[in-house]
């Protein structure tokens, strides 16, 4: 595949001058997606948070986290392209890297944008057929899930991602979109992104459930019991990867969502 240009999800024009056979990926969800597309051999650099497949950090060079990266390590890998994400990687990181390398940035708030990311990766790495198959399978899983649940009577929820300070999910996030797909009504949907709240405000929110995510803060059973006792509101522990990872993990997300709904 020769040189070409592609507009990424930030509207940036990315100029690809040669086949991208050496990839550095700075986002866990995207790293997993590349592996599932069959691009594991082309991956040369990942972050310490790229935990799937679980052996990958032993076989690839870890170049730091998503917020702090080692530029010298990246330089030593001689990447053909670097994959970033608007939410996970800072503007400063992108601007520094794009001085030296082609940088593709994703921006995913909806399932449609997740599928567009996968299709763009298919185009970037000449894996269009595999990318199309993955998107088709994800959509099939979504449709099958939607046929099994009723969204007529929505449960009103608050989805927590952090404590000290307490942080919940608001609008403009992929998690908020996935809550809606599950038929949940987000009690903080009128606030942007990840608002910090006081627990006392929950008493006026008429909540059916509090959802405690497994990431980025690792909420456990002790937190569940503590909040139930303090607030008198039912609390569920949920797997945050299925609500926030927007790549190929979506293949497995809808079966998990069925279990939340008792199917």
Domain ranges for the chain: 4-143, 155-260
**pTM reported for the whole predicted model:** 0.93
Residues 147, 64: Cα–Cα separation, whole Å: 42
**pLDDT tens track for 207-247:** 999 999 999 999 999 999 999 999 999 999 999 999 999 99
Work out the average pLDDT over 1-11. Answer: 86
Q: How many CA atoms lie less than 13 Å away from 83 in the CB half-sphere?
A: 28
* C-alpha–C-alpha distance, residues 250 and 131, integer Å: 13
Q: Are 202 and 235 in contact (CB under 8 A)?
A: no
Residue 86: the pLDDT is 96
| pLDDT, average across residues 163-172 | 96
- State pLDDT tens for residues 170-202: 999 999 999 999 999 999 999 999 999 999 999
CA dist 3 and 61 (Å) reads 27
pLDDT at residue 151, as a whole number: 61
Q: Is the pLDDT of residue 23 over 60?
A: yes
Alpha carbon distance 178, 257 (integer Å): 10
CATH of domain 155-260: 3.40.50.1980
Categorize the per-residue pLDDT at 62 as very low, low, confident or very high, splitting at 50, 70 and 90.
very high
pLDDT at 65 exceeding the cut of 70: yes
CATH fold match for the domains 4-143 and 155-260: yes
Average pLDDT over residues 11-17: 91
| Each residue's pLDDT tens digit, 108-157 | 999 999 999 999 999 999 999 999 999 999 999 999 999 988 765 689 99
The neighbouring-strand residues paired with 13 are: 7
Task: Say whether 215 sits in a helix, a strand or coil.
Answer: coil
Q: Say yes or no to pLDDT of 1 above 80.
A: no
C-beta separation of 257 from 182 below 8 A? yes
The residues, ordered by sequence, that sit 6+ positions from 197 with a Cβ below 8 Å of its Cβ are 166, 167, 168, 188
Residue bearing tokens 């993990």: 249
d(CA 157, CA 142): 21
- The answer to whether the bond into 216 is cis (omega within 30° of 0) is yes
pLDDT tens readout for residues 70-90: 999 999 999 999 999 999 999
Distance (Å, whole) CA 27 – CA 86: 10
User: What are the tokens at 261?
Assistant: 């709904």
- Asked whether residue 18 carries a pLDDT value surpassing 80, the answer given is no
Does residue 176 contact residue 186 with C-beta atoms inside 8 Å? yes
Mean pLDDT computed over 157-161: 98
In this structure, which topology does domain 4-143 adopt according to CATH?
Rossmann fold (3.40.50)
C-alpha distances out from residue 220 to 50, 176, 181, 215, Å: 22, 21, 25, 10
Whether 263 has a pLDDT exceeding 70, the answer reads no
Give 131-161 as a DSSP string. Answer: HHHHHHHHHHHHHHHHTT---SSPEEEEEEE
């Amino acid at each position: 595949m020769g040189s070409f240009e592609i507009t990424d999800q930030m509207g940036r024009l990315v100029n690809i001058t040669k086949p991208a056979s050496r990839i550095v990926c700075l986002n866990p969800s995207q790293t997993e997606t590349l592996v599932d597309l069959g691009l594991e051999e082309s991956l040369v650099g990942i972050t310490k948070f790229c935990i799937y497949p679980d052996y990958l950090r032993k076989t690839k060079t870890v170049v730091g986290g998503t917020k702090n990266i080692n530029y010298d390590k990246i330089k030593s890998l001689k990447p053909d392209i670097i994959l970033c994400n608007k939410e996970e990687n800072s503007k400063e990181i992108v601007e520094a890297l794009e001085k030296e390398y082609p940088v593709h940035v994703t921006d995913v708030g909806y399932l449609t944008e997740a599928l567009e990311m996968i299709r763009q990766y298919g185009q970037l790495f000449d894996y269009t057929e595999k990318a199309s198959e993955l998107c088709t399978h994800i959509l099939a899983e979504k449709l099958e899930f939607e046929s099994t649940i009723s969204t007529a009577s929505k449960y009103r929820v608050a989805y927590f991602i952090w404590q000290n300070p307490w942080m919940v999910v608001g609008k403009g996030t992929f998690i908020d979109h996935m809550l809606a797909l599950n038929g949940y009504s987000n009690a903080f949907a009128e606030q942007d992104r990840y608002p910090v709240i006081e627990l006392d405000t929950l008493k006026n929110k008429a909540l059916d459930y509090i959802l405690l995510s497994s990431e980025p803060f690792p909420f456990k059973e002790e937190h569940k019991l503590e909040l139930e006792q303090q607030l008198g509101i039912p609390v569920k522990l949920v797997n945050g990867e299925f609500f926030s990872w927007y790549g190929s993990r979506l293949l497995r997300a809808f079966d998990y969502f069925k279990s939340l709904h008792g199917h």
